[in-house]
Amino acid sequence: MKTTQMMISRASCVMPSFPCSRVCFSICTRRGFCVWPGMRQLCLRKNLLYGFVGFFSMPYKTLCSVTNISSTLQIESVIGSGIDRDRIPGIDIVLNDEDKWMFAGHEVLVIETPGHTRGHISFYFPGSRAIFTGDTLFSLSCGKLFEGTPEQMHSSLGKIISLPDDTNVYCGHEYTLSNSKFALSIEPNNEALQSYAAQVANLRSKGLPTIPTTLKKEKACNPFLRTSSMEIRQLLNIPATANDGEALGVIRQAKDNF
């Protein structure tokens, strides 16, 4: 996290849905459910408890920039996707699809969302109506297909958009302004997109974040969630017979070359 000073006891600590974060916890865990330990079990310094208590009430600039947390965290354990256990050294706590665990008093549901990478996972907080999507779903875009296929990405996005429309989306990067330019280029007559793009441009001109977004907004504006849009298909010459996964692949290729 850019605004958080951290002491890390392990060199390789990866939490896929928190790509800039090196936050790992000493947790007694078993398959399917993990329990947040008592404060005496954590190596904490002054004010960290306050920081976590306010974790979900504070604004986010991006997933990697949580404001007003200035404490130092001593790292004891490494958490990560079970799929990545053999290729990311040092994972102590393995998380798999549909696992549940507790973070600062909040229940977290782990969702496997491959596509960007094969071991990518997202973290859904049902009580707070928030999801941390890392590099799977961005506002007005999705992640590049480094290791996955269009069909995998389409399936992963489908899992995310099956959540309630008022779910707040915290993604891994502040790319919304550049994403809006591509989205408008392939669906210029989308009025909801036009309005959102203007809002995004205004926010960024003032140095303000566009994140979090909401699933409702993304469904209306994000071209990677709108693979059946006839305007998008016509502008990109996507055949009417192409399925949504194939259409997403064409849209992703166009975005890569934009």
- Domains in the chain, please, with CATH? 6-256 (3.60.15.10)
Q: Which of 17-21, 71-75, 225-229, 243-247 has the lowest mean pLDDT?
A: 17-21
Q: Which neighbouring-strand residues pair with 125?
A: 130
Q: Which of 54-58, 84-88, 138-142, 215-219 has the lowest mean pLDDT?
A: 54-58
User: Could you tell me what percent of the chain has a pLDDT over 70?
Assistant: 71
pLDDT at 191 over 60: yes
pLDDT at 219 over 50: yes
- Rounded Cα gap, residues 130 and 125, in angstroms: 5
Q: Which of 70-84, 86-100, 199-213 has the lowest mean pLDDT?
A: 70-84
Strands 213-214 and 168-171 turn out to be antiparallel
Q: What is the mean pLDDT of residues 19-38?
A: 33
Which range has highest mean pLDDT (15-19, 43-47, 62-66, 148-152)? 148-152
How many residues are listed for the chain in this entry?
A: 258
Which run of H or of E encompasses 65?
A: strand 65-66
If phi > 0 it is left, if psi is from -120 to 50 it is alpha, else beta; for residue 140 that is left
Q: Which of 99-108, 131-140, 198-207 has the lowest mean pLDDT?
A: 99-108
- Quote the pLDDT of residue 77: 74
The residue among 176 and 54 whose pLDDT is bigger is: 176
- Quote the pLDDT of residue 158: 98
Q: What is the full DSSP assignment across 136-200?
A: TEETTEE---SSS-HHHHHHHHHHHHTS-TT-EEEESS--HHHHHHHHHHH-TT-HHHHHHHHHH
The residue among 48 and 240 whose pLDDT is bigger is: 240
pLDDT at 184 over 80: yes
pTM, rounded to two decimals: 0.72
Strands 137-138 and 65-66 turn out to be unpaired
Q: Which neighbouring-strand residues pair with 28?
A: 35
Confidence band of 76 (pLDDT split at 50, 70, 90): low
State pLDDT tens for residues 118-142: 999 999 999 999 999 999 999 999 9
